[in-house]
Structure 1
């Protein structure tokens, strides 16, 4: 591991987990626990459960000429999640952070992939807190490493809630704009099918070349303008058909899919976006499918957040994704 890239993993060193963000009120009534009272640092003997792991990284956003600050996202999400009400039955663990210093992106992605694969091997469901959307290549690689030891040709469905395809050519520079092109290349090298759904795409924010690349790769595309109350049930059905052709799901949520008023604290706030109310039925369908193995939340930039609105949305997404079904 590059000396500029470090991981604070409780699997190796329980004392390295910073639990200070997990603070909040304590209510006197019975059965009134909140996240900060229930989450525990991950240990080697921990029972399988939800495992939060941070990816404190700005390198991909910097390479993509975006607004720096996403490295502070994991801590901000933890602080916003800490006081939320606890409605789980299973355990939740904090697995620490993979921290990228400077431009050591590839080393950080390699380390996160190793951590994700280890968590999956130990029966946990990882939920990665970004960080820029370069986290997606690392998250997927960790899932691939886990599954390749179990199946010859795993049918992995990637569902990206995002205003952007992030399918730029990685041969020039690897960044927060290239992870799904990198994943497509990795699938090709492995002889796996590339199954990718990108929901919430902004036509104004993606070039014709990117739409053409998405078409050539067989991507399921739903634009932000399609997300209306009248289309809600149809969108859930479309997603259900995609899910039915997969055995494993990886969900990645770029917070810039939301309207700028709901998520101002991102690298590229959306002029239109898709509201949280419209996204929640899709997220619930993914969660309840029984196929979700891994999720991540990307692009929270606390430097540009207003009244912690974006962090609160991210925390609500964690809450929604981890509700026991």
Structure 2
């Protein structure tokens, strides 16, 4: 898998020296033997979105998000690397999941934390698979910021099935399925999906219970979940944000959770010491407006990395 660094360009404040660097000046191509850090991995795929009858275009998300990240101010935390992009150009989502899982496992075994840029939310299954293989024996909790449970039943994998697939895999492996979905929209999930979530022992919090003045309650729920597991996989479906903040997704939210609330909770999780992998999914540059969506997504990614320390 080749690594294309050409999109990492931006402003250079040379007069202010090394302390004025931006992401494009800090990121390096991932190589063997480098110090442990954060490895950005793309998953250029929206086959799951297409199968789920959504608006396609998320296949171009990894490139657009790298460009949005490139010009952000770099405040040193862990070293930053680009690990390339896994693509799904032939419609074979199962094979793409295996390639993504293999890449994630290799990143973790080399001592890095994967930050995956999707792609549709089908990204989650391949990402989790790689983390589970690299952290065998650990109770991995999934924290999903999402308007949707993504627990649908289907004959083939889609962007609406990843956590049903993970639940099935956990059952096969004899492992607990630990899943917290924050920002669930009652308008976007049928009664059948709520019943499935309850049957699987999932936990959730409605978007209507995640206003800024309810942040303390959400923080407590998140803290209790994190305490109950050995490690945490964080996935952010950008359609959890209000449409005014995130227009560039397959299914824009009519209500949503304010980005300040999501950012505060993500920061708490990143500081927990249990984060083993994170992704941002469903960004669709076809529907972006003046880069509003790309900037919001990049801000959330920046917030994750800002909290990580050696």
Which interval holds the TM-score relative to the shorter structure? Answer: over 0.9
Report Cα offsets for 1:166-206 as digits up to 9, x if no partner.
00013x22100000000000000000000000000000000
- Equivalences for residues 1-325 of structure 1 within 5 A: 8=1, 16-27=2-13, 28-30=15-17, 31-148=19-136, 151=137, 154-170=138-154, 172-323=155-306, 324-325=308-309
Aligned partners of 1:312 and 1:281: how far apart in 2?
17
Q: Is the 8 A contact 1:53 1:97 kept in 2?
A: yes
Alpha-carbon distance, 1:102 to partner: 3.1
Q: Is the 8 A contact 1:200 1:227 kept in 2?
A: yes
Alpha-carbon distance, 1:229 to partner: 2.5
Cα RMSD over matched residues? 0.9
Aligned partners of 2:113 and 2:219: how far apart in 1?
23
Taking structure 2 as the reference length, what is the TM-score of the superposition? 0.97
Report Cα offsets for 1:241-275 as digits up to 9, x if no partner.
01100110000000000000100000000011101
Q: What is the aligned length?
A: 306
Q: Is the 8 A contact 2:77 2:305 kept in 1?
A: no
Alpha-carbon distance, 1:50 to partner: 0.1
- Consecutive aligned runs of 4 or more in structure 1 exceeding 6 Å deviation: none
Alpha-carbon distance, 1:81 to partner: 0.3
Give secondary structure in 2 for the equivalent of 1:175.
Answer: coil
Aligned partners of 2:65 and 2:76: how far apart in 1?
18
| Runs of at least 5 residues in structure 2 that lack an aligned partner in the other structure | none
Alpha-carbon distance, 1:89 to partner: 3.2
Alpha-carbon distance, 1:147 to partner: 1.2
Alpha-carbon distance, 1:317 to partner: 1.3
Taking structure 1 as the reference length, what is the TM-score of the superposition? 0.93
